[in-house]
């Protein structure tokens, strides 16, 4: 994979760069912003209080091997125990000229496929990117509802603001990668569900996805729901889509044939408010293209003040448009 795509792969799946054979480095979990929708309380990840902490730009300087080669090689490794895996990786590490060009995808045999949901989340994201969606996995929503495994958003304000640098469909963390060189996959993006928000639940060890997916759809925030499973042929109901693999291990997508009907007694949330929150959410990834010094200078230029607390920083990012942030990045 091109190094840029490999970084996204690692973020989604937890696969690790072979920088050492004991704990190969994975950026998974470091690119997080918030746990809950409709809220702007940082979790430790992209931001730490009022400072940028883990961003693709900062990580690229701390760990140059992430983007120092044109291509990275994904190596799935089956193993029975951590000791066996470490022995395999140690042997490979000693023989490879440049171990960090290799990314280890862990496959624990004892789990019989359980634990590979994130790989299905990755495939779903890659598929829906080519159909014009901004995608992410482990979507922030609400503690009582859970975190959807997959989300896709057709948001013209964000997509228009970044159209010079990204295709119409992309993974959400690519918003934070505008200043990083590397190949960007080009394709003709088109959404079969224009102006819609989609959600998916991924499983590998069980085929039961209906209960959790129903929770997400009953919020009223999503227009379409999808079951994601490597070998389930059809969705539970006609109002769900099915994302699966055929007998030749090719991606197969079966769209829903009817609209979802909300469960009785549920109260739907405001989709318009959710879209507004999503657009603000994505601006935080755009601002992550800056260094901390650049962020402080940008803030001072706009407010004539210094960043003194998280609330002021959050309100500042909410107050400016995605286009303003992209223009500022261009000027840098």
For 290, the 3-state DSSP assignment is coil
For 171, the 3-state DSSP assignment is strand
- The answer to whether 198 and 222 are in contact (CB under 8 A) is yes
- The answer to whether 66 and 52 are in contact (CB under 8 A) is no
Calculate the alpha carbon distances from 178 to 43, 68, 167, 285 in Å: 23, 16, 12, 10
The token pair at 116 is 């590979």
> What pLDDT score was predicted for residue 171?
97
Which of 285, 277, 275 shows the shortest CA–CA distance to 325? Answer: 285
> What pLDDT score was predicted for residue 191?
63
CA 151 to chain centre: 9
Domain coordinates of the chain in residue numbers?
A: 3-112, 118-254, 271-331
- The answer to whether 16 and 26 are in contact (CB under 8 A) is yes
> What pLDDT score was predicted for residue 49?
92
- The Cα diameter of the chain in Å comes to 62
> What pLDDT score was predicted for residue 205?
84
Which parts of the chain register pLDDT below 50? none
> What pLDDT score was predicted for residue 267?
87
Conformation bin of residue 73: beta by default, left when phi > 0, alpha when psi is -120 to 50: beta
> What pLDDT score was predicted for residue 206?
87
- The DSSP line for 21-59 is SSS-B--TTTT--BSBTT--PBPBTTEETTEE-S-HHHH
Task: Count CA atoms within 13 Å of residue 58 on its CB side.
Answer: 21
> What pLDDT score was predicted for residue 190?
64
């Amino acid at each position: 994979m091109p190094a840029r795509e490999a970084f996204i792969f690692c973020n989604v799946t937890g696969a690790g760069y072979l920088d050492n054979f004991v704990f190969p480095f994975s950026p998974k979990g470091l690119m997080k912003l918030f746990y809950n929708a409709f809220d702007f309380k940082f979790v430790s990840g992209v931001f730490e209080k009022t400072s940028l902490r883990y961003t693709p730009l900062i990580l690229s300087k701390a760990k140059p091997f992430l983007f120092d080669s044109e291509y990275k090689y994904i190596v799935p490794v089956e193993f029975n125990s951590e000791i066996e895996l470490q022995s395999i990786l140690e042997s490979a590490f000693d023989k490879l000229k440049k171990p960090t060009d290799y990314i280890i995808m862990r496959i624990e045999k004892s789990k019989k496929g359980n634990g590979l949901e994130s790989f299905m989340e990755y495939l779903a994201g890659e598929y829906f990117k080519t159909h014009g969606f901004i995608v992410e996995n482990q979507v922030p929503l609400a503690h009582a509802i859970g975190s959807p495994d997959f989300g896709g958003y057709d948001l013209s304000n964000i997509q228009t603001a970044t159209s010079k640098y990204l295709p119409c469909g992309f993974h959400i963390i690519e918003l934070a990668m505008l200043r990083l060189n590397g190949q960007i996959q080009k394709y003709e993006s088109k959404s079969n569900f224009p102006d819609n928000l989609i959600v998916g639940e991924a499983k590998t060890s069980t085929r039961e996805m209906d209960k959790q997916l129903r929770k997400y759809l009953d919020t009223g925030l999503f227009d379409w729901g999808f079951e994601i499973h490597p070998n389930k042929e059809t969705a539970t109901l006609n109002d769900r889509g099915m994302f699966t693999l055929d007998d030749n291990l090719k991606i197969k997508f079966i769209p829903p044939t009817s609209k979802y009907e909300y469960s009785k007694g549920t109260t739907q949330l405001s989709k318009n408010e959710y879209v507004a929150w999503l657009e603000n959410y994505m601006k935080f990834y755009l601002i992550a293209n800056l260094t901390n010094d650049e962020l402080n200078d940008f803030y001072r230029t706009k407010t004539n003040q210094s960043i003194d607390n998280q609330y002021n920083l959050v309100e500042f990012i909410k107050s400016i448009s995605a286009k303003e942030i992209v223009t500022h990045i261009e000027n840098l």
